[in-house]
Chains A and B, each alone.
Chain A
Amino acid sequence: MLKYLEGSHAVSQVVAMCRPQVISAYPITPQTHIVEDLARLVSEGRLDAEFINVESEFSAASVILGASAAGARAYTTTTSQGLLLMTEVLYCIAGMRLPIVLTCTNRAISAPLNIWNDQQDSMTVRDAGWIQVYAEDNQEAADLHIQAFKIAEQTNLPVMVCMDGFILTHAFEPVDIPEPQEVDAFLPAFKPQHIVDPRWPRALGLYADPRFYMETRYILHRALEKSEDVIKQVSADFSRAFGRPSGGLIRTYKLENADLVIVTMGSVAGTVKDLIDALEEEGKQVGLLQIGSFRPFPKQAIYRALKDKMNIVVLEKAVSLGRGGILASDVRWSFPRGERKGRVISSFIAGLGGRNISTDSLREMVERVCLEPVELDFLGLNKEIIAERDL
């Protein structure tokens, strides 16, 4: 049923329909509206779950680690500093193959302190062994959660659903919220595989010496790679069941005849599409390749989609300081060695700490990369407030 509601509430309503049994979270802007709503649903008896108010994100992640190891479907949500505080536990959850779902309401990282949106938080923990999917709008943010539990439980991998803080979490738009029985039909009850249970004593979290450790990391890496098929399948099943496309590895917009392709992920894809439509009217062919799954990184799907495209620009809301674009680097390496020659892959960092990305600023980016390759630039920098010596 179409409902006009805030992005956070679209997510909380849908997460509740996924029937998590243990929810644990610590408040941090802009995640709070999701947990407040879930706490209300639990306290009103409309969601049969334990809601554990903890003293830190570190403990939130640890509580759901324990709950998942005991066989419960477990959920948490956080962002920014909270996600970084969880980092040690995130790696552990993946290493222990616990199918936990986490919503990251993407926000910038300190210092300086900044509560507004970029994607530095989740992209910083990209190597933790979690599947990471990025939502374009609130409909997709809601839909991805239903898919996330299914993907996690089929692969025994944790899934992080990333949605842009404020831009999505605090935006009101119409969202088609499914009926609970539709979600039940799509997402079967959790059947945990490896749990602590006195009826069948087993050990979880043993240490591995040099004879065994590398194999566990290899297996985890392979599991991530192989999860591409599950992500695709669950996305296709979702489209069939709910009648709208959502999720998947990549999505494209007006790509076929494009002379220039913008690669990006998250909510800025909407702005990019607006620009593409405007440029089309002016006779310019620009296309979009949107990354749905950042981990696993669908390099083959990207290569297939961009094989014939010689001018590509990667737009991202994070930066590997001292190196440059993270997504840009991943995209550049998606092309086999012989295929990189003559291909221009420009890199733009944009929207850090909530800096607005407008169609005008994107138009400037497009105009520049049509003239020359851009190794790396920050879009919309105000050089007037940067001292000469810092330039």
Chain B
Amino acid sequence: MELSEEILNRVEKKNLFAVGHRACGGCGQALAARLVADAAGENTIACVATGCLEIFSSPYPDPSWRIPFLHSLFENVSAVASGVEAAYKVMKKGPVNIIAMGGDGSTADIGFQSISGMFERGHQVLYICYDNEAYMNTGVQRSSFTPYGAKTTTTPMGNKTRKKNLPFIAADHGVPYVATATVDDYRDLQRKVKKALTIEGPKYLHILVPCPLGWGHAGDLTIQICRLAKDTGLFPVFEIINGKITNVVKVPIKKPVEEYLKLQGRFRHLFKKGVPTEVVAEIQTIANQNIERFNI
């Protein structure tokens, strides 16, 4: 179908994260980045860590960003954003929204020290972690956000550990606003970005972003998989405001984890001829613990 010039212009004007980037079809991170940029608005500086998002959105000379974009390394985006904030403060420029963003590896593993420093010093920065639960940019290797049981190229028999719980680690730093979100509920995601940007000090927003390539699902299942992640209790959506868990997204009718797992190649080894192994039962236990803990 040919799109008219007028429609194209309208699309172009609308999105601060422009079309034409090089993400895979169905990429949850690309969708999330666009929702974040549009929610934050033009008066925003995006500091981006090395990773999928940076690679598919910033090849010279075709960046996709219509807001200022700053990238340097994999593990330092929190410190870079801290420096941008300090500069704006001392030069008495702004106010401006400063958003640091990275994947799960650059947030929870190699950039963990840096993000801890940014939280602890109390910079006026919103940190967004796009969690696709492994090192996707380098070919699906395990990170500390890889869930229990998931197969990656460095956990070929399935991951034996549970996800690092960064939202709570952030909250325990005294971060006044912590939230989780998924890309299926874009209203909730954008509301959280806007809300976070009104709050003084550091903020942490953890967004689950399915990766069709790494998770082994069809590109058109991204939204459905997000819903199942919530409906099974495996990915609780909530806010932590000044240390208190609040606004938990309730799931009136819970789904068994099998429904979530069966759609994804990374969990296929957990089913022998369609019959779930005991690992599935353990994953169900994790979901049940979440349901109880968050009163989902």
Please tell me which one of the listed residues A21, A63, A212 contacts residue B80 in the complex, with CB atoms under 8 A apart: A63
Contacting residues of chain A (189-203) with chain B, CB-CB under 8 angstroms: 196-198, 200-203
Bound state CA distance, A58 and B86, in angstroms? 17
* Interface residue ranges of A252-288 to B (CB < 8 Å): none
Q: Is the interface on chain A under 10, 10 to 19, 20 to 34, or 35 or more residues?
A: 35 or more
Cβ of A53 < 8 Å from any Cβ of B? yes
A92 (CB) vs chain B CBs: closest residue: B72
B71 within 8 Å of A by Cβ? yes
Interface size on B, residues (CB 8 A): 45
Q: Is B72 a contact of A62 with CB atoms below 8 Å?
A: yes
Do A53 and B121 have beta carbons less than 8 Å apart? yes
Are the C-beta atoms of B71 and A67 separated by less than 8 Å?
no
- Contact: B72 with A67, CB < 8 Å? no
Residues from chain B with Cβ under 8 Å of A391 in the complex: none
Contact B82 A52 (CB under 8 A): yes
Taken together as a complex, chains A and B put the C-alpha atoms of A70 and B116 apart, in Å, by 22
Do A207 and B73 form a contact, CB below 8 Å, given A24-B83, A58-B79, A74-B83? no
The answer to whether A72 touches B86 (Cβ under 8 A) is yes
Q: Interface with A: B62-70, B157-165, B227-235, B246-254, which one? A: B62-70
Pair A206/B59 contact, Cβ less than 8 Å: yes
| CB <8 Å contact, B87 and A22 | yes
With CB as the reference atom, state the residue of chain A lying closest to B63: A203
Q: From known contacts A72-B86, A198-B67, A206-B71, infer whether A62 and B76 are also in contact, taking CB-CB under 8 Å.
A: yes
Interface string of A45-69 (1 = CB under 8 A from B): 0001110111110111011111111
A321 interface residue per 8 A CB criterion: no
Closest to B62 in A: A206
Within 8 Å by CB of B72, from A21, A22, A96, A201, lies A96
The residues in A between 52 and 104 inclusive whose CB is less than 8 angstroms from any CB of B are: 52-56, 58-60, 62-72, 74, 88-89, 92, 96
Give chain A residues whose Cβ lies under 8 Å from the Cβ of B85. Answer: 66
Docked CA distance A214–B143 (Å)? 32
Partner among B43, B83, B93, B114 whose Cβ is within 8 Å of the Cβ of A52: B83
Determine if B86 and A212 form an interchain contact, defined as CB atoms under 8 angstroms apart. Answer: no
A209 to B72, CA, bound (A): 16
Number of A-B contacts (CB under 8 A): 164
| Chain B: minimal CB distance from A279 (Å) | 50
Partner of B70 from the list A24, A58, A66, A200 (CB cut-off 8 Å) is A66
- Docked CA distance A54–B122 (Å): 12
Does A205 lie at the interface of the complex (its beta carbon under 8 Å from any beta carbon of B)? yes
Report whether B43 and A198 are in contact in the complex, using a CB–CB cutoff of 8 Å: yes
- Which residues of A have CB within 8 Å of B58? 203, 205-207
Q: Judge whether B84 is part of the interface by a CB distance below 8 angstroms.
A: yes
A135 to chain B, nearest CB (A): 27
* CB neighbors of A among B26-83 (8 A): 42-45, 47, 54-55, 58-61, 63, 65-73, 75-76, 78-83
Residues on the B chain within 8 Å of A89, using CB: 72-73, 76
- Residue of A49, A70, A201 with most partner-chain B CB within 10 A: A70
Contact: A204 with B83, CB < 8 Å? no
Which chain A residues lie closer than 8 Å to B55 at the CB level? 207
Assess the A54–B90 pair: CB atoms within 8 A. Answer: no
User: Which 5 residue pairs across A and B have the least CB separation, nearest first?
Assistant: A66-B83, A62-B79, A205-B71, A72-B87, A70-B87
Give 30 A-B contacts (CB < 8 Å), ordered by A residue: A21-B90, A22-B83, A22-B86, A22-B87, A24-B83, A52-B82, A54-B79, A54-B121, A60-B79, A62-B72, A62-B73, A63-B80, A63-B82, A65-B72, A66-B47, A69-B70, A70-B88, A70-B91, A89-B76, A196-B70, A198-B44, A198-B45, A201-B65, A201-B69, A203-B65, A203-B69, A204-B70, A205-B71, A205-B72, A207-B54
Which residue numbers of A lie inside 8 Å of B, CB to CB?
Answer: 21-22, 24, 48-50, 52-56, 58-60, 62-72, 74, 88-89, 92, 96, 196-198, 200-209, 212
With A49-B90, A71-B87, A88-B73 already in contact, 19 other A-B pairs whose C-beta atoms are closer than 8 Å: A22-B83, A58-B75, A58-B76, A60-B79, A62-B82, A62-B83, A65-B83, A67-B87, A69-B80, A70-B91, A71-B91, A74-B83, A89-B72, A89-B76, A196-B69, A197-B68, A201-B65, A203-B65, A206-B63
